[in-house]
Structure 1
Amino acid sequence: MATMKTVQIYTPGNVNVLTYEDVERPVLQKGEILVRVRAAGINPVDYVSRAHGLILSTGTSVLPYVVGWDVSGEVVGLGEGVTQFAVGDEVYGMPRFPHEAKAYSEYITAPVADLALKPRSLSHAEAAGIPLAGLTAWQSLFEVAHLQAGQTILITGGAGGVGHYAIQLAKWRGARVITTTSTRNVEFVRELGADVVIDYTRESLAEAVKDVDVVLDAIGEDVLRDSFKVVKRGGIVVSLPGHKGVKAVGEELAPQYGVTFVLTFVHTSGEHLAQMAELADAGQLRTHLDATFPLKDAGQAHTLSEGGHVRGKLALTVE
């Protein structure tokens, strides 16, 4: 049988449960393509699923479990009925989310609707950084908040994975962008296009900002509470679900401040990925890679990711 390298877990736990080993290559099904993975993006949801051993779509544990969703690579096989891609095409995407995608592997199969042609101007590692974080930013800004040119948006955590894409996408849409970050990332977010930067180590958000139309909250906790103080009545606060207590805080404060609160969940979309690829190739969207690691060192990548201070994205390279 044909084999490949993969990273999987047999029990939930810390980074030591990540096992780099040989497994059988996946078998193509109708409507799928076989991708030779060249890079896999790292997201916080990766280490959450590793720590708890959970299949996100069901909340149950099915082991062994191969971690990861974001991939970039080449098409090496076509399932029955596939006409959207050809062997040799370079593609990227977030297949099957929130079901198991097995991205930390040399080969994966993926439904054609979950993928798009890779941005030509980006490396595989840069492209692999986009799907989950980029789709989260795109869908939060344009599907949920309906951000318009001329509006003002506050993006908390602008130097992070979602944040650094959200700044660029909001500027492309024509919005005025305010963001929060630490001192070391002030110049970084300015270079991304932020109009106003709040250094949260030196300034109070509630004192420095007022009357924004939209908030994209990637932090939660006290930052989310302060976000309600700066948004206009009739505005909207969109929050990401990865932080404990976010839903309760949002539902408590939204009526008090006369704003809409939405807890958003990303969904896979080859169409949105294709649009972001066009922006990347036009020089309007880029990935900042804080670090890359070979597939066998996925544990090191998870340790860095769990530290919570990654600038932009991390990726695994799959040679």
Structure 2
Amino acid sequence: MATMKAVQIDAFGDIDVLQYKEVERPEPQAGEVLVRVRAAGVNLVDAASRRFPLPITTAKKDLPYILGWDIAGDVVALGPEVTQFAVGDAVYGMPRFPDEAKAYSEYTTAPVADIALKPRTLTYQEAAGVPLAALTAWQSIFDIAHLQAGQTIFISGGSGGVGHFAIQLAKWKGAKVITTTSTRNVEFVRALGADVVIDYTQRAFQNVVKDVDMVLDTIGEDVLKHSFEVVKHGNIIVSLPGHKGVGQLGAELAPCYGIQFVLAMVHPSGEQMAEMAQLFDAGQLKVYLDGVFPLQDAGQAHKLSENGHVRGKLVLTVE
């Protein structure tokens, strides 16, 4: 039996449940490739799935469970009927989400439809910081809200993983971008292309922002509540499901304001990853890494992630 190193949980709880151990190495099935993972992205959903049986992820699987969804690495074996990739290809993606993808490991298998060739201009670490956050931004503002050139979007939390990609993608599309962030990140989000930056420690955004075409809410709670005050009647708020009560709050407020409310659930897309790879290689999209940790130090990355003040993304290197 071939084995590999991985970070696995045998119980739910604090970061001490993360175990760096030897486990069985998977084999690619039909329509899959085996990827030697070089780096794995860390997302809030990873930490939530570690703490308790999250309905969309870990509640579907028995323990033990290998966390993580974002990968960047090299194709080392092909399953039957695979012609889209070749051994040696550098790839990246978010395989299988919300099912178990086992990104926190030396090797994992990935359906060919869920991955794409890695951008040539990005390192493995940078590429691993892209998939879940960038796909969430892309699908929220393009697939769900259909943002168009000339429209105005308000993005709460512009310096975070999803937010910092959403700013860049909206500007690439030709939209005007308004965002909030803390004092230390004002220049960061401005450099990403934000047209109007509101320091939420100094001003309440609802007193500044009016009549936008779309809101991308990455914060929830009171930020979501006040977001309904700034959208044009009949337009849309897209919110992310990582915060408790967001769906219920949005559903309650939407009819009162005449606003469409959608709770976004990201899904894998190798096609969209390929489109974004072109943007990275053309210099139109960038990823910012706030921290890089060895795989065995996943607990440190989770602790920083749960702080809620990460600029851009965190990743794990897999040696």
TM-score category (smaller protein) = over 0.9
Equivalent position of 2:318 in the other structure: 318
* In 2, Cα distance between equivalents of 1:16 and 1:255: 44
- Cα drift, residue 142 of structure 1: 0.4
Residue in 1 aligned with 2:308? 308
- Counterpart of 1:240 in structure 2 is 240
Residue matched to 1:194:
194
Match of 2:112 in 1: 112
For the structure 1 residues 11 and 57, does the alpha-carbon distance in structure 2 shift closer, same or farther, using more than 3 Å as the test?
A: closer
CA distance in 2, matches of 1:55, 1:100: 13
Q: Which runs of 5+ in 1 are unaligned?
A: none
Matches within 5 A, 1:30-109: 30-54=30-54, 56-57=56-57, 59-109=59-109
Greater shift in the superposed pair: 57-66 or 195-204: 57-66
SS in 1 for 2:242: coil
Instruction: Name the CA distance, whole Å, in 2 between partners of 1:260 and 1:4.
Output: 47
Deviation at 1:58, TM superposition (A): 7.2
Deviation of 1:59 (Å): 2.8
Alignment match, 2:294: 294
Paired position in structure 2 for 1:174 = 174
1-side partners of 2:12 and 2:261: how far apart? 33
After superposition, the Cα gap between the structure-2 partners of 1:69 and 1:122, relative to the gap in structure 1 and judged at 3 Å, is: same
For 1:180 and 1:5, the matched residues in 2 are separated by 40
Instruction: Give yes or no for contact 2:60–2:99 (8 Å, CA) kept in 1.
Output: no
Shift of 1:235: 1.2
Do the aligned partners of 2:138 and 2:166 also contact (CA within 8 Å) in 1?
Answer: yes
Do the aligned residues in 2 keep the contact of 1:53 with 1:62 (CA within 8 Å)?
no
- Once residues 18 and 160 of structure 1 are traced to their aligned partners in structure 2, the CA distance between those partners, rounded to angstroms, is 24
How many angstroms apart in 1 are the aligned matches of 2:27 and 2:275?
29
Q: Please tell me the residue identity of whatever aligns with 1:31.
A: G
For 2:172 and 2:60, the matched residues in 1 are separated by 40
Structure 2 unmatched runs, 5+: none
2:134 paired residue number: 134
**Which residue number in structure 2 is paired with residue 20 of structure 1?**
20
The alignment's TM-score, normalised by the length of structure 2, stands at 0.98
Task: Work out whether residues 92 and 127 of structure 2, in 8 Å CA contact, stay in contact via their aligned partners in 1.
Answer: yes
RMSD of Structure 2 on Structure 1 (CA) = 1.0
Q: Tell me by how many angstroms 1:53 deviates.
A: 4.1
Aligned residues between the structures: 319
Once the two structures are superposed, the pairs formed by residues 227-306 of structure 1 within 5 Å of their partners are: 227-306=227-306
SS at match of 1:198: strand
Q: Summarize the Cα distance change of 1:58–1:42 in structure 2 as closer, same or farther, 3 Å threshold.
A: closer
The match for 1:158 is 158
**How many Å apart are 1:60 and its aligned residue?**
3.9
